[in-house]
């Protein structure tokens, strides 16, 4: 039997160890089911707002909102936050050298790999200090069946922002969330009383109007979904709204007043933008935070694998990333991209050919039109033929 004093002492040992591993926030909550979260998830699925994420089923919602469905002996959940912002994004696009935007979380090494290693270390530590019979634990980061944000909210790690992200006073919303579900009895924290109050800046800043109400995101309109998770064609009406985003989007976080205050304070204290700080999340040398787009369009499978090994960007796969690059080039509208986009009309992937056609139509001009006409004469895929015809109409 663990006494409250034992539990408090053990909780502090675990907190200190987690902080020493590089986690920035550590809170503790019970392993009771999160019934509000389960109801919210089921409601969103029922309304079609999780459309496109076929794996997000009502059954999954039931399991992921109930830690004991995953570890029957669970008594506590350790909620962890890892700050990942390393510097403010720079828009490097200049005439003749179009650049795209990577969302900040994807600048550096794949956080799943970085955090998983820390979680395994923490779980091993917990095993060594657990009383007999309480050694069991399982770890989660993002891809596991656990509602990361609901755990973080109940543990008082942060509060729900209206853009659905968890916000914190010290680190804003620039945190990866992860958990350890354990059979240990620990001292539990309370949820925070903080809210976003009257502020709705994020809701109105979204270029695709993805928020149907505060706290409610329509996944199918979110640029993050369209550029990362969507495997097929990007809906025509949304393409112009995506701008130069080629992997994820940070707009609803960048405009958040809490985040702006946090960034300013961290910068003043020298905790942001410091060379050598959080190296694993700093922009990778070859790709940076806003990569040149034309060279990306020339990547073959091998080149893509090589360039994005250990980067979150690999999730989009070559065809998804090149699709996004075409859309960004179309939106930037610089004719310097016409030769590379014309070459992409001969890509092995119909998805890339179709989006290259759209971009050429949007940029327009005689060279783009001629390339589209030539491509139409030899194209065999019906969807791409349709894209080319639409593009020729845009060309005028
Ligand atoms: C599916 C998913 C997505 C989808 C859908 C997003 C979404 N809103 O659900 C897509 C691909 C679009 C996406 C995008 C992003 N994601 Co994502 N995503 C997930 C994933 C795998 C599941 C999220 C989920 O359960 N969604 C279901 C919906 C219904 O949940 P929800 O919107 O959070 O709803 C909760 C609250 O809103 C609340 N609620 C409901 N109604 C109400 C009403 C009131 C009044 C209140 C107070 C609360 C409330 O209850 C709900 C249940 O907890 C998690 C990882 C995980 N395993 O949890 C990461 C996760 C949520 N994503 C994350 C990140 C970083 C992002 C991006 C910022 C990435 C980017 N830069 O492009 C964007 C942000 C977009 C946005 N504004 O949400 C982080 C969030 C970190 C944080 N600080 O909150 C997570 C936790 C990954 C991680 N482990 O760090 N993501």
Mean pLDDT is lowest, of 28-42, 80-94, 96-110, 144-158, for 80-94
Beta strands in the chain (DSSP E): 25-30, 76-83, 101-102, 137-140, 159-160, 166-167, 175-182, 211-213, 216-217, 245-247
φ and ψ at residue 366, rounded to 5 degrees: -60, -45
**Beta pairing partners, 179:** 79, 140
User: What pLDDT, on a 0 to 100 scale, did the predictor assign at position 26?
Assistant: 98
Instruction: Tell me the per-residue pLDDT of 172-230, one tens digit each, with 9 for 90 and over.
Output: 999 999 999 999 999 999 999 999 999 999 999 999 999 999 999 999 999 999 999 99
Q: Name the residue among 155, 151, 153, 150 with its Cα closest to residue 187.
A: 155
The pTM (predicted TM-score) of the whole model is: 0.96
C-alpha to C-alpha distance for 172 and 28, rounded to whole angstroms:
19
Strands 137-140 and 175-182: antiparallel
Instruction: Tell me the per-residue pLDDT of 309-334, one tens digit each, with 9 for 90 and over.
Output: 999 999 999 999 999 999 999 999 99
C-alpha to C-alpha distance for 127 and 109, rounded to whole angstroms:
28
User: What pLDDT, on a 0 to 100 scale, did the predictor assign at position 88?
Assistant: 64
> Which one of 40, 181, 205, 210 would you pick to mutate in the ligand 1 pocket, going by the greatest count of ligand atoms within 8 A of its CB?
40
Catalytic positions: 142
* Residue whose entry in the numeric block shows the structure tokens 């755990």: 151
Q: Which fold has domain 4-88+107-182?
A: NADH Oxidase (3.40.109)
Sign of the CA dihedral with 283 first, then 289, 294, and 300 last: positive
**Helical segments of 195-316, H only:** 201-205, 223-224, 251-254, 257-268, 293-297, 301-307
State what percent of residues in the chain have pLDDT above 90. 87
Instruction: Tell me the per-residue pLDDT of 115-124, one tens digit each, with 9 for 90 and over.
Output: 999 999 999 9
CA angle 119, 312, 263 (to 5 degrees): 80
User: What pLDDT, on a 0 to 100 scale, did the predictor assign at position 2?
Assistant: 64
> Which one of 34, 61, 141, 164 would you pick to mutate in the ligand 1 pocket, going by the greatest count of ligand atoms within 8 A of its CB?
164
C-alpha to C-alpha distance for 216 and 44, rounded to whole angstroms:
8
C-alpha to C-alpha distance for 376 and 371, rounded to whole angstroms:
9
pLDDT-based confidence at residue 151 (cuts at 50, 70, 90) = very high
Average pLDDT over residues 282-287: 88
Give the number of the atom of ligand 1 that is nearest the alpha carbon of residue 229. Answer: 11
| Cα 211 to Cα 103, 170, 264, 301, 358, distances in angstroms | 19, 25, 27, 35, 27
pLDDT of 4 > 70? The answer is no
User: What pLDDT, on a 0 to 100 scale, did the predictor assign at position 141?
Assistant: 93
Ligand 1-lining residues (CB < 6 angstroms): 37, 40-41, 44, 53, 103, 105, 141-142, 146-150, 160, 163-166, 173, 175-178, 215, 217, 219, 222, 224-225, 228-229, 248-250, 252
User: What pLDDT, on a 0 to 100 scale, did the predictor assign at position 1?
Assistant: 54
C-alpha to C-alpha distance for 335 and 359, rounded to whole angstroms:
10
Average pLDDT taken over every residue of the chain: 95
Q: Name the residue among 54, 12, 18 with its Cα closest to residue 139.
A: 18
State what percent of residues in the chain have pLDDT above 70. 98
Domains of the chain: which residue ranges?
4-88+107-182, 201-395
| Contacts of 16-19 spanning 24+ positions with Cβ under 8 A | 17/122, 17/125, 18/78, 18/80, 18/122
Cβ count near 322 (within 10 Å) = 26
pLDDT-based confidence at residue 274 (cuts at 50, 70, 90) = confident
């Amino acid at each position: 039997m663990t006494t409250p004093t034992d539990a408090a002492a053990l909780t502090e040992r675990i907190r200190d160890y987690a902080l020493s591993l590089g986690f920035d926030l550590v809170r503790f909550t019970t392993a009771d089911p999160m019934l509000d979260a389960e109801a919210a998830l089921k409601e969103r699925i029922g309304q079609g707002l999780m459309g496109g994420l076929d794996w997000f089923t009502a059954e999954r919602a039931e399991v992921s909102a109930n830690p004991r469905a995953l570890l029957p002996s669970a008594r506590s959940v350790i909620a962890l936050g890892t700050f990942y912002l390393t510097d403010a994004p720079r828009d490097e696009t200049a005439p003749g050298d179009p650049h795209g935007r990577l969302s900040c979380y994807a600048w550096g090494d794949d956080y799943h790999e970085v955090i998983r290693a820390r979680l395994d270390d923490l779980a091993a530590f917990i095993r060594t200090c657990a009383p007999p019979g309480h050694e069991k634990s399982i770890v989660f980061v993002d891809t596991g069946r656990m509602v990361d944000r609901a755990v973080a909210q109940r543990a008082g790690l942060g509060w729900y922002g209206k853009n659905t992200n968890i916000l914190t006073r010290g680190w804003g919303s620039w945190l990866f969330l992860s958990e350890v579900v354990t059979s240990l009895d620990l001292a539990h924290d309370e949820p925070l009383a903080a809210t976003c109050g009257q502020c709705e800046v994020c809701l109105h800043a979204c270029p695709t109007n993805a928020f149907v109400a505060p706290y409610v995101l329509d996944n199918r309109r979110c640029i993050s979904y369209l550029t990362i998770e969507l495997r097929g064609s990007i809906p025509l009406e949304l393409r112009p709204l995506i701008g130069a985003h080629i992997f994820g989007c940070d707009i609803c976080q960048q405009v958040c007043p809490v985040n702006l205050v946090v960034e300013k304070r961290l910068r003043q204290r020298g905790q942001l933008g410091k060379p050598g700080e959080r190296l694993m999340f700093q922009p990778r040398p070859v790709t940076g935070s806003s990569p040149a787009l034309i060279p990306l369009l020339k990547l073959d499978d091998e080149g893509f694998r090589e360039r994005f090994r250990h980067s979150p960007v690999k999730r989009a796969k070559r065809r998804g990333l090149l699709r996004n690059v075409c859309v960004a080039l179309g939106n930037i509208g610089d004719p310097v991209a016409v030769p590379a986009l014309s070459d992409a009309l001969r890509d092995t992937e119909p998805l890339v050919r179709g989006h290259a056609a759209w971009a050429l139509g949007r940029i327009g001009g005689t060279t783009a039109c001629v390339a589209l006409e030539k491509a139409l004469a030899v194209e065999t895929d019906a969807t791409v033929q349709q894209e080319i015809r639409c593009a020729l109409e845009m060309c005028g």
